[in-house]
Structures are given as structure tokens and as C-alpha cells.
Amino acid sequence: MSSSGVDPQRVGHTAESELLARILPRFRAADAALVGPGDDAAVVRAPDGRFVVTTDLMVHGPDFRMAWSTPFELGWKAAASNLSDVAAMGARPTALVVALAATADLPVEFLEQLADGIREGCAAMAPGCGVVGGDLSVSATLTIAVTAFGDLEGREPVLRSGARAGDVLAIAGSMGRAAEGLDLLFRRGVDADGHPDAEATALLRAEYPDLIRAQTAPRPPIGHGVIASAAGATAMMDVSDGLLLDASRLAAASDVRLDLSSTALEPHGPFALRGGEDHSLLAAFPTQDAVPAGFTVIGQVVPGRGVSLDGTDLDPRGWDPYSSWSGAQG
């Protein structure tokens, strides 16, 4: 029953056309859209002649728990995780395509609130970006798939492979806060049997609102992708799997070593190195003076391979959704 005492309308009892009629008006039109939802495909402007495209999947179980996230937060996070990948290429996000596979007993209101989260996430993090199409289906597992597009606006894409020895390594956004929030949820957002629990989570939200929000509805600095590109960033990537693991990927692509500074990382806490899902932007710049406002220097690019901390080699383990969620069933 809903809070009003009325049994909510369920996805399995609602025609697709009715679902679309209730969901689509909740999305904001994308500025780049020439043809939006309603035809077999959308038409989106690409003034640069090129476009950036990325996709990300969120599945109930390995990627989120409904007891820990509101539907609005799920929509926001689905937007954030894709917008950050576009930003990491130095592009401006322009449009999203959203596919939802919902369980038949899911209230239609849940999907409406999820759509609200996507709309508000785009408005807050990438103004002008909106949903231009997608698909709906029914599944035994709630699944959210988003594809994002971006405009390079005449700039070259910023790749992972451009860092060179002598560059300065910097990051925009938080480090480890999403993982710290998730750690709280694993330890205290559960019932007596260890299953994710909405009532326990509500208490955590009241006690640690910023940390829980960092996990359930992250707000990465999307606009800093374009700023970094304009400042001459030589390499950049989204930090979704933890600073250490993603830094090792950038180092491998550029065939360099990234030497991190413990002094720079210490204020960010114990999850800074290995905690995932902050969706911050890790970038290399040719000089210290080139590092733009909003980025914090955390190390240097030096000859060699791999990642080190104050010159000591590190094992590049990080966020792994397949292992991180093991044992957290229910």
C-alpha cells in the first residue's frame, strides 16, 4: 500500500504507452535535440562533426540496493555516472538515452521519481543536457541502462594516453567519500540478519547525510571536464573504480608512472586510495601553473610504470562491484 492507503499502480498492470505518457513529460528536452522522444530514433545536433558516446549499466544487486537508495537518487546516480565519463573526455554532455527494465510489481510512481532524478541530475550537473529517447521492458531484476552523448566543441578529446613524465597529476571532486558512505551502509544500514534495511538507512541519513548522499547520489564536477581540456590537460579519466585502480589504468595507457603524494591524500581519509564511485576527474597537466581552479594536485607523472605513493610501489587494487557486493544479499 502507498502512504495514502491506496494500492499503487504497478508496472506489470500498465500498458507501455501509458508508462511512457507518465514518464516522458518528466524529462527535460535536450538543447541539442532536433527530434526527441516519439519517433523511432532521436536526432541530435553534433556541431563539431564528432560526438562522444558512453554507456553505463546499473543492476539491482551488484550496483545498488533499493533499501539504500530512493528512486530519485537512482535516477540522479545513473545520470552522474554517465555524465562524468563524457566530461572525462573533455566534452560537454548533450543528451541521454535511457532504457529501463523494471519488475512487474514495481509501482509506476517509482519510475516517475527515477525520471525526476535523471532530469534534476542533468539540470544540476550538465545544464542543457536531457533525455532524447530510450526503451522500457519488464525483468525479474530492476536494471537501468543509460547512454550519454557529448560535444567536443572543436577541441581534441582528452585521452588516458597523453600523460608524460614531468606532468602534474591533479583531481577534481571527492576521494573516498562514496566508499565511506557505502561502508556505513554495509555496517549499519542493515537489519539483524545483515540484509539492507530502509529503516536503518533512514537513521544513517540523519546522522551522516553527506556521506550517504555521496554514495547514493554523487555530484561529480562535470563542468570541470571542459575546464581541464581548455587548460591543456594531457590526459584525463573518470575515477569510478577507486583512485588507485583508475590511476593505474591511466599510467598503463600513457606508459608512465604516477607517483601520488601521501600529504595530499591524507586529509581525504582511509578510503581515498581504493574507494570507488566518487566519479571525480583525474587529470594530468603540463605544469603546476596550468592546473585550473577546482583541481587539487595529488602527485607527479614520472618515468616508469604503475602507481606509487611517495616513491613506494602500490598494488593497484580498487573497486570491484562483483566482489564488493558479495555477501550483501537481500
Q: Residue 40: which residues within 8 A CB-CB, separation 6 or more?
A: none
Query: Residue ranges of the alpha helices (H) in the chain?
Result: 16-23, 71-87, 108-125, 177-188, 198-207, 209-216, 224-230, 243-254, 262-265, 321-324
**Strand duo 52-59 + 130-138: pairing:** unpaired
- Mapping DSSP to helix (H, G, I), strand (E, B) and coil, where does residue 60 land? strand
- What ranges do the domains of the chain cover? 11-151, 160-179+218-317
What is residue 319's predicted lDDT score, i.e. its pLDDT? Answer: 64
Q: Say which CATH topology domain 160-179+218-317 has.
A: Phosphoribosyl-aminoimidazole Synthetase; Chain A, domain 2 (3.90.650)
What is residue 103's predicted lDDT score, i.e. its pLDDT? Answer: 95
Longest dimension (CA), the chain: 65
Asked if residue 209 lies in contact with residue 73, where contact means CB atoms within 8 angstroms, the answer is: no
Binding residues for ATP, by number, are 134-135, 160, 240
* Residue 257 bridge partners (DSSP): 302, 306
The CATH classification of domain 11-151, taken from the options 3.30.1330.10, 3.40.50.150, 3.40.718.10, 2.40.50.140: 3.30.1330.10
Residue 17 phi, psi dihedral angles, 5° rounding: -60, -35
What is residue 4's predicted lDDT score, i.e. its pLDDT? Answer: 55
- How many angstroms separate the Cα of 66 from the Cα of each of 60, 72, 277? 7, 11, 17
Burial of 58 (0-12, 13-18, 19+ CB in 10 A): buried
Sheet with 143-151, edge to edge strand ranges: 52-59, 143-151, 92-102, 130-138
What is residue 5's predicted lDDT score, i.e. its pLDDT? Answer: 60
* Residue 131 bridge partners (DSSP): 96
The amino acid occupying position 223 is G
Q: How far apart are CA 280 and CA 237, in angstroms?
A: 8
**Strand duo 92-102 + 33-35: pairing:** unpaired
What is residue 7's predicted lDDT score, i.e. its pLDDT? Answer: 74
What is residue 16's predicted lDDT score, i.e. its pLDDT? Answer: 85
Asked if residue 313 lies in contact with residue 319, where contact means CB atoms within 8 angstroms, the answer is: no
Contacts 24+ apart (CB under 8 A), 53-57: 53/147, 53/148, 53/149, 53/150, 54/82, 54/85, 54/86, 54/147, 54/148, 54/150, 55/82, 55/145, 55/146, 55/147, 55/148, 56/81, 56/82, 56/85, 56/145, 56/146, 56/148, 57/143, 57/144, 57/145
pLDDT in tens, 8-17: 899 888 888 8
Binding residues, by number, are 40, 54-56, 63, 85, 134-135, 160, 238, 240-241, 277, 319
Task: Say which residue the cell 512487474 belongs to.
Answer: 104
**Strand duo 168-172 + 306-309: pairing:** unpaired
The pTM assigned to this predicted structure is 0.93
Asked if residue 290 lies in contact with residue 168, where contact means CB atoms within 8 angstroms, the answer is: yes
Helix (H) or strand (E) holding 168: strand 168-172
Which positions of the chain have pLDDT values less than 50? 1, 322, 324-330
What is residue 320's predicted lDDT score, i.e. its pLDDT? Answer: 61
